[in-house]
Structure 1
Amino acid sequence: MLRDDLESAASPSTSVCTPTLPGFTCGLDATLRIVSGKWKPLILYFLAQDGPTRYGALRRAIRDVSDKVLIQHLKELEADGLIMRTDYKEVPPRVDYGLTPLGVSLAQALVPLCTWGTENMAEVTRLFAQRDPSNGKGAAA
């Protein structure tokens, strides 16, 4: 049943992912290019949850990201029109980041992925543990 649904959704006459944009194979390609990188979806998620957020709060919320990568991703998301950076021109410096309307719409599109991850976290954890060679079990060769 699911396979039939996926195949019918992928047919050119009904697909929302038909090649219509120059340089992209489909709308999903455009979306994935704009959120490419491990941390961009998390940045969008936390900004959607918390509203305008200072750099330090983002850094604490997104564990394991380096300062260099976080700054790079913030700059890219700003250049792509998904987030806005507000510099309050104060001493000490105060800057926060928030979503633009385009960023809000993308963050809303990520909600089903978040829901899927939450609902399937135990299974995903099990699958990652199975394929991790350092845990001694590893996947069968």
Structure 2
Amino acid sequence: MREPLPADMFDELCPSSLNPIRFGDKWAALIIRCLESGPRRYSELRVPLSRVTPKVLTQSLRSLERDGLIKRTVHTDTTPHVEYELTPLGHSMLEPLAVACAWSEQHWDELLDARESYDNSTRLDQAG
């Protein structure tokens, strides 16, 4: 049995969730990170990606599959289920993702300050 994905893998204080560098859509990089240790069922992905609506998660998975980064396998044995796993092309994304995550972690405070400043100025513009 494989190790379950931690529910707080991408909590709000995770540098991955603050990463301004996009790989595909907003959630693609997080999905790729979830699949780096092997295939996962949709229900397993929902645990650390609880902030993603089921509809958006499905759209992101389809987009990653279309781009050739993940493979969707339907198992029709005694307990039918679907698993998602990285393709070789998807595995090649892990290194650039690690670099982007390290960059985000290194610039965490600056990113938070910039976003807070932007949000505050936007609120003032809308109020005025």
TM-score normalized with structure 1 length = 0.63
Offset of residue 133 of structure 1: 2.8
**Match 1:115 to one of 90, 95, 102:** 102
1:42-100 Cα offsets, whole Å, 9 max, x none, are 1112212x321111121221232111111111112112211011222145432211100
Whole-Å separation in 1 of the counterparts to 2:44 and 2:121 = 33
**Match 2:28 to one of 20, 37, 40:** 40
- RMSD over aligned CA atoms reads 2.4
Q: What is the percentage of aligned positions where both structures have the same residue?
A: 38
Larger radius of gyration: 1
1:121 maps to a residue whose letter is W
Structure 1: stretches of 5+ with no match in the other structure: 1-31
Task: Say whether the 8 Å CA contact 1:130–1:137 is kept in structure 2.
Answer: no
Q: Which residue of 2 aligns with 1:71?
A: 58
Whole-Å separation in 2 of the counterparts to 1:105 and 1:51 = 14
Query: What is the number of residues matched between the two proteins?
Result: 104
Whole-Å separation in 1 of the counterparts to 2:121 and 2:43 = 33
1:104 maps to a residue whose letter is H
SS state of the match for residue 85, structure 1?
Answer: strand
Offset of residue 112 of structure 1: 0.5
Structure that is richer in helix per residue: 1
Q: How does 1:15-30 map to 2 (within 5 A)?
A: none
Task: Say whether the 8 Å CA contact 1:78–1:85 is kept in structure 2.
Answer: yes
Whole-Å separation in 2 of the counterparts to 1:78 and 1:86 = 11
Change (3 A) 1:130 1:111: same
Q: How does 1:1-141 map to 2 (within 5 A)?
A: 35-48=23-36, 50-133=37-120
Q: Which has the higher contact order (CA 8 A, sep 6+)?
A: 2
Change (3 A) 1:57 1:134: farther
Whole-Å separation in 1 of the counterparts to 2:112 and 2:52 = 20
SS state of the match for residue 76, structure 2?
Answer: coil
2:30 maps to a residue whose letter is L
